[in-house]
Structure 1
Amino acid sequence: MTNIALLLVDLQNDFCRAGALEVLDSESVIGTANNVITYCQQQNIVVIASQDWHPADHLSFAVNSGTQVGTEGNLNGLRQIWWPVHCVQHQKGAQFHPALNQSAIQATFQKGINATIDSYSAFFDNDHQHATQLDRWLTENKIKHLYIMGLATDYCVKFTVLDAVQLGYQVTVIQDGCRGVNLHPEDSHNALQEMVLAGAKLITSSDLLTQSMIVTNALS
């Protein structure tokens, strides 16, 4: 295994077509993910994933907080977007998309389990007081570089990337493997720029696959 891992962020039914929190053009992300997974298998790069895993009484759900979906408020002292009920533990919406090559995923890290606080990042709850097992696992497996892609660009991908950079990982975002919620039209664009400013690199899946072909041809 190399010191690189591919981290797939929240490629779950509720964020895909007909899901409770559908992200536009999310289906294309699944195809891109499968192509990148194949590349990673060829290069001995480990594939891992994060999974939104909310209890049914999660307070980020508008219905549980007496608010309206898509509006903004405050949850336990933190800025909060109120969401529809999504990715509830053990329900179909929380499962990975059926077309995703799930057999390649070697470890899954669940987030958003605490009903009193939201969790966008695959590393921490939004208050950064409680961590998932992701950083520990990466450290134990001597992973230094993360390829990151998934849903959604402007929330879970962005905050995962920012935390990864802050924790000292080299981060490459596969841009065409991400799609955003875009409550405001420029949210995804701004999120990508924020990631770059933090120190992440943006590439496309074609960049990755082309690079692999060049190396293969040079060695043949």
Structure 2
Amino acid sequence: MNVQTQLDPVKECYRNQRFVYFDIETIPCQDEDYRAELARKVTPPGNIKKAESIDAWLAENRDRATDEAMSKTSFDGGRGHVCTIAWAKNDSGIEVRHAKTLADERNVIADFFADLDPYHSETLVGHNITGFDLSFLKKRAICLGIKMPSPSSFPRDPKPWDKSVLDTMSAWAGGTNRISMDNLCSILGIPGKAGFDGSMVAEAWAKGDHDTIAEYCKDDIYRTREIHKRFIMAGY
């Protein structure tokens, strides 16, 4: 079977259906008042009882524990922030919006929503979007007062089996099982992440390395689309 024949199922699918491949990158909460609140909540292990031992433990461990708690807010749409969104429709070029400041976040999300709004027969495709991306965006929209697109183009509480979404992680691993995009790319022979991954986004953003984050998010759309094409060619 030649390459052209292999691609025919994809072309046919794209003729009949519109897919929106998308991915977001997030950073932790940037509010120093919230950091101070988390610092106040740090407590030593229960086996440390003496006041001087508690003080010594806090002096040594409070900052590290607070940093760890703050870093976890990059997974919390109520506290963290969207710094980048990349998306593409079928075989179109990839759009990227990136926030260099917190003030930019609103426009990044609004631009993505605006591009979805006119369409009501799209299927959103991404890796772990039902478990993370869609929920994070919904929460940021509520926090920032951004009007979300209609539920037909942006489901509010999607499940992996919803027709309006195709979650490549759930589609491959099934149920509550997980597989990283990089691992799935390796299995399918698709070039994976090249020395930069999501765990590095927060530090890169803090250093002002915005182009690296934007390019990384853009590359994830390429990977997502290639994964989905494998599914289409297999008749998924």
Same fold (TM over 0.5): no
Normalised TM-score (structure 2): 0.31
Instruction: Select the structure of larger CA radius of gyration.
Output: 2
RCO comparison, higher one (Cα < 8 Å, 6+): 2
Indicate the structure with greater helix content.
2
Higher strand share: 1
